[in-house]
Structure 1
């Protein structure tokens, strides 16, 4: 079993990238509280470890070339964040069918048009499906498969 902070990292990655994908190509402010939930600072004005871990995840995504941003808003948000080209292309790409079958919700209508089937086999759809499931293992697998393993589509640099 993974450490809880690693499971939270994968969930934060998935939520942040889905938010950015949903707004693409618009730049948005990416707020930690929208990803990790509400946070109350302590008597010294310091954020919780959970809040800071999520903020660190957002900075890491930027450092790894998955998103760009203009600045930070204190430790609350990334200002004017947008997916990089590589991240957008990867999220829009079709995932291997074995992974789609493992991570997707079963299709209720097998006769769906090809365009809809294609949309339901993208990496971003797999991330959304994994998040809806609430399963840490599915979220972890979806994020790892999308960005951290080579599945023949090239890796994001």
Structure 2
């Protein structure tokens, strides 16, 4: 089992990418509270470690070339964020069938139209399904497969 901060990182990344994909190509403000939950700054105006970790994950996505933004809104949000071409193409791409089956994300049969089968096997669908499941393991696997590994062979899935 991964460290809790790593699991939270994967979830923050997945939520942010799904939010941006759902409005692509429109720019939108990406609020930390919408991703990590509400946060009350302390008496000195400092945010919690959880809030700052989520904000750091958003900044990291930009540093790694997965999103762009115009500015930060204090440590509350990214102003006018949008997916990069690299992230959009990757999220729209079909995932390996072994991964789709392992995550139970593309439950289709022969009667399902081919276009629907294609949509259900994309990385964005895997991320949405993993988030919906609430399983840290599924979320981590979906994010890793989408962006951090060169291949997703069945041996890597278990």
**Under TM normalisation by the shorter chain, which class is it?**
over 0.9
Runs of 4+ in 1 over 2 A off after TM superposition: 104-110
Cα separation, 2, equivalents of 1:96 and 1:134:
22
TM-score normalized by structure 1?
0.94
Structure 2: any 5+ residue segments left out of the alignment?
Answer: 153-158
Cα separation, 2, equivalents of 1:123 and 1:108:
16
Two-structure CA RMSD over aligned residues (Å): 1.3
> Which position in structure 2 is the counterpart of 1:27?
27
Secondary structure, aligned partner of 2:20: helix
CA contact (8 A) 1:104 1:130 kept: no
Cα separation, 2, equivalents of 1:34 and 1:138:
21
Cα separation, 1, equivalents of 2:110 and 2:77:
41
CA contact (8 A) 2:100 2:106 kept: no
Cα separation, 1, equivalents of 2:14 and 2:131:
8
Please report how far the alpha carbon of residue 105 of structure 1 lies from its aligned counterpart in structure 2 after TM superposition.
Answer: 3.9
> Which position in structure 2 is the counterpart of 1:90?
90
Question: Residues 134-145 of structure 1: matches in 2 within 5 Å?
Answer: 134-145=134-145
Cα separation, 2, equivalents of 1:2 and 1:77:
27
Question: Residues 1-157 of structure 1: matches in 2 within 5 Å?
Answer: 1-105=1-105, 107=107, 110-151=110-151
Secondary structure, aligned partner of 1:80: strand
Structure 1: any 5+ residue segments left out of the alignment?
Answer: 153-157
| C-alpha distance after superposition, 1:61-98 (max 9, x if no partner) | 00000000000000000000000000000000000000
CA contact (8 A) 2:103 2:130 kept: yes
Query: Alignment length, in residue pairs?
Result: 152
